[in-house]
Structure 1
Amino acid sequence: MWNVYLILVVLLLILTLLPKIQNSHWVFRVPEFGKIQITYFIIITFILGFLADSHSEYFWYFQGFLGLMFVHHGVILVKYTPVYPVKKHSRQQKSSQKIHFISANVYQFNTEYSRFIKLIEKYNPEIFLTMESNEDWEKAMQPLEKDYPYHHKVTLENTYGMHFYSKIEIKEAKTHYFVANDIPSIEVHLMTEDGFSFVFFGVHPPPPSPTEEETSKERDGDLLSTAKRVKKIDKPVIVVGDFNNVAWSKSSILFRKTSHLIDPRIGRAFVSTFHAKYRMLRFPIDLMFHSEDIFIEKLTTLENFGSDHLPVYCEFFIDHHNDQQEERIEKATTEEKIQAEEMIQEGKEEDGERDAVVTED
C-alpha cells in the first residue's frame, strides 16, 4: 500500500504542475480539465497515507505536499461554488422579461433525435443552440421550425456544424471563421418583443487532445478572436458553447478579461457537462459568459438525451438600469493584450488536420 501511496503522490504532483508550464501541447493542457477529480484524489491519497503500513521519515513531507496541492486547487475551485460570495440581483420593473435558452452539443453521431426534440418541447426555451449538428440533425429538427421561425444554420459534416433557432426575432446573423475555414462561430443580433436587443454568440473551437488537435493554439486563437469581436459590440452580449476549455484555465481567464464579460459560474456552480455518461469523470467545458447588463437567474444542466454532453439551460433577463455587476468585470493588462494577440496569430497559423466529412470510429 505504501508503494501505491507514493505513486499517487508523484502522479498528482505531476498533474498539478503540468498546466503551470506555458506550453500549448495537449499533454500540458489536458490536466487543467481534471482539476476537480485531481482534488478528490488528493483527499483520498491523504487519507490513504495514514493507512499505509510505513514508518518512513519522509511521510509528513509527502502529506505536506498533498496538503499544499489541496490548498492550491481548492483556492481556485471554491470560486465556482455557492460558498464564494457574489451578490444576487432580482429583476426590476424596467428590466426585460425572462429569457430562456438551451445550449447543446448533440454529438454528430447521436441518432436519438426524438429525445432532443422532446427536451426542447419540455423546457420550451425562447432560443436554443446546437453544436456538432450536421445535415441529418438539421432534417430531424425541422418539426421544431413551426415554433422557432427564426434560425441561423451552419451545416457541416466535420463535427463543427452549428444551428441556432429562436422564437425571438433575428435582426442580423453572421458566421465567423476566425482562425480556420472549417471552424465556425456565429453572431446573432436579436430583438425581444418588449424592446430589448442583445447579441448571442455561439462558439465551438477544437480541443487539444491526443485524438484531435495536438495543441490548444486553434482553440485559444478562436476564443480570443471572439473576445475581441465582442468587445466592439455596444449591446448586451452572451457567448455560449462547447469551449473545449475550463473556466479556470489561463486562456479562459484571458478570454474573460479581453471581452470584458462575466463568468456566471463564479459563486454559483461548476455546471459540468462532459462526459454525460460518467459522472465522476465529468468536466465543465460547455461555458457561458455575459455582459454586465445581463443577469443570470438560473444556470444548470438538463437530462441526457443520448449525446456525450449534457445540455446547458439558462434563465436570464436584461437590465440597462442596474450597474451593480460592473465590479465583476476584469480587464486585460497591456501585457495580457499583447499575449492575446500572439495567441490569435498562432491560432491562425496552426494547420488543424480535419477531414471535411468525419465518420464515427
Structure 2
Amino acid sequence: MWIFYLVLTFLLLILTILPKIQHSHWIFRVPEFGKIQLTYFIVFTFILGFLIDSSENFWYYQALLIAMFVHHGITLIKYTPLYRVKKHIQQNQSSEKLHFISANVYQFNKEYDRFVQLIEKYEPEMFLTMESNADWEKALRPLEKAYSHHHKVTLENTYGMHFYSKMEIKDSKTHFFVADDIPSIEVHLKTKDGFSFVFFGVHPPPPSPTEEETSKERDGDLLSTAKRVREIHEPMIVVGDFNNVAWSKSSILFRKTSHLIDPRIGRSFVSTFHAKYQLLRFPIDLMFHSEDIFIKNLKTLENFGSDHLPVYCEFFIDHKNDGQEERIDYATQEEKAEAEEMIQDGKEEDGNRDAVVTEG
C-alpha cells in the first residue's frame, strides 16, 4: 500500500508539472484539462497517507500533496461562488433578457429529435450547433419556421457549424483563420428593442493522441479570433467548443488579447465534456463576453445524446453600465508578440484531416 501511495503521489506531481512546460505537444497540454480531477485525487491520496503504514519520510510526501493542492486550488477557486465578483442588476436602459444555447451535437449522434425538443423547451432567441453536418442540417429544418435567420457551414469533417436566430441578422461571415477546413462564424445581430451585438462561434481542433498532435492550430485559431474581436467595436459574445480550459495559458492569452470577460469566474466551472461520465467531465465549452454584456445565468442543460452537454446562457446588454471594466485584463507587449507567434504557428501547422469523417 505504501508503494501505491508513492506511485500515486509522483504521478500527480508529474501531471501537475507537465502543463507548466510550455510545449504544444498534446502530452503537455492534455493534463491541464483535468485540474479539477487532479485536485480530488490529491485529497484522496493525502487521506490515504494516514491509513497506511508510513516511513520516516511520510510528512515530506504529505507536504508535497498539500503544496499541489494549494497550487491547483488557487486557480480553481476563481471558478466558484467563493470568489466574489460584483453582481449587476438589470436597469431600464438595458436590453431585454436574451438567451442562447450552444451545443456540440456530435456529428454521429442520430438522436436529432431530442435536440429539437430541447430547443423547443427552452426557446432561446438563438442557438449554435457544432459538428453539425448535412444530416443535422436536415433534422433542424423544422425549427427554421421559428428561427428564420441563420448562418450555415455544413461540413462532414466534424467541424460543421450552424447558427439559428429569431432576431435579424444584419451581417454574417465565415472565417477560416488557420485552416480551410476549420470554420469560425461571425454574426452581427439586432434585437427587437434596437440593441446590436456580435455573436462569434468557434470550434478549433483539440490536441490529443487521436486528433491533432499539437495545440498549434487550436491556439492559433483562438488567438486569431481574439485579434478579430479587437477590430469590432460592438457588444460581443464568443462561444463554442474551445477544446481548451479557461485556466490554460492560451485561454488566458485569448482573454487578455480580446479584452473579453470570462463569466465562469465567480460562478462555476460549467463542465460539459464528457456528457456520460460525470467524474471525467471537463469545462471545455467556453464563453467570453465584452464589458457591456451582463450574464444573468450560465449553466449546462440535459444531455440529448451527444458527448457534450449543451450550454445555456441568459444575458442582457447595457451600454451605460461600466461596472465590469475592472474585470478586463490587458495583454502586455510581450504577450501580444507571443499571440502573433502562436497565430503564425497555427497557420503553418498541417492538420492532415479527412474531408469526410466516419464514426469508428
Q: TM-score band, normalised by the shorter chain?
A: over 0.9
Which residues of 2 match residues 83-122 of structure 1 at below 5 A? 83-122=82-121
Q: How many residues are treated as equivalent by the alignment?
A: 360
Residue 352 of structure 1 corresponds to 351
Residue 130 of structure 1 corresponds to 129
Q: Distance in 1 between matches of 2:52 and 2:234?
A: 59
1:22-58 Cα offsets, whole Å, 9 max, x none, are: 100000000000000000000000000011122x111
Aligned AA (1:58): N
Residue 311 of structure 1 corresponds to 310
Secondary structure in structure 2 of the residue aligned to 1:34:
helix
Are positions 1:253 and 2:236 aligned together? no
Which residues of 2 match residues 128-277 of structure 1 at below 5 A? 128-277=127-276
**Divergent runs of 4+, >4 A:** none
Are positions 1:29 and 2:29 aligned together? yes
Q: Distance in 2 between matches of 1:231 and 1:154?
A: 24
Q: Distance in 2 between matches of 1:123 and 1:2?
A: 52
Q: Distance in 2 between matches of 1:168 and 1:327?
A: 31
The structural deviation recorded for 1:82 is 0.4
1:200-226 Cα offsets, whole Å, 9 max, x none, are: 000000000000000000000000000
TM superposition score normalised by structure 2:
1.00
Aligned AA (2:240): G
Q: Distance in 2 between matches of 1:229 and 1:293?
A: 18
Residue 11 of structure 1 corresponds to 11
Q: Distance in 2 between matches of 1:270 and 1:83?
A: 12
Q: Distance in 1 between matches of 2:79 and 2:259?
A: 19
The structural deviation recorded for 1:73 is 0.1
The structural deviation recorded for 1:353 is 1.2
Secondary structure in structure 2 of the residue aligned to 1:115:
helix
Aligned AA (1:204): H
Q: How much identity, in percent, do the aligned residues show?
A: 81
Residue 334 of structure 2 corresponds to 335
Residue 44 of structure 1 corresponds to 44
Aligned AA (1:10): F
The RMSD of aligned alpha carbons is: 0.3
Ranges in structure 1 where 5+ consecutive residues have no aligned partner: none
1:177-234 Cα offsets, whole Å, 9 max, x none, are: 0000000000000001100000000000000000000000000000000000001100
Secondary structure in structure 2 of the residue aligned to 1:344:
helix
Secondary structure in structure 1 of the residue aligned to 2:245:
coil
1:140-159 Cα offsets, whole Å, 9 max, x none, are: 00000000000000000000
Q: Distance in 1 between matches of 2:75 and 2:114?
A: 36
Residue 295 of structure 1 corresponds to 294
Secondary structure in structure 1 of the residue aligned to 2:50:
helix
Q: Distance in 2 between matches of 1:199 and 1:348?
A: 25
Ranges in structure 2 where 5+ consecutive residues have no aligned partner: none
Q: Distance in 2 between matches of 1:13 and 1:327?
A: 35
1:53-83 Cα offsets, whole Å, 9 max, x none, are: 22x1111000000000000000000000000
Q: Distance in 2 between matches of 1:17 and 1:213?
A: 22
TM superposition score normalised by structure 1:
1.00
Residue 20 of structure 2 corresponds to 20
Q: Distance in 2 between matches of 1:215 and 1:82?
A: 33
Residue 58 of structure 1 corresponds to 57
Q: Distance in 2 between matches of 1:256 and 1:30?
A: 20
Residue 2 of structure 1 corresponds to 2
Residue 284 of structure 2 corresponds to 285
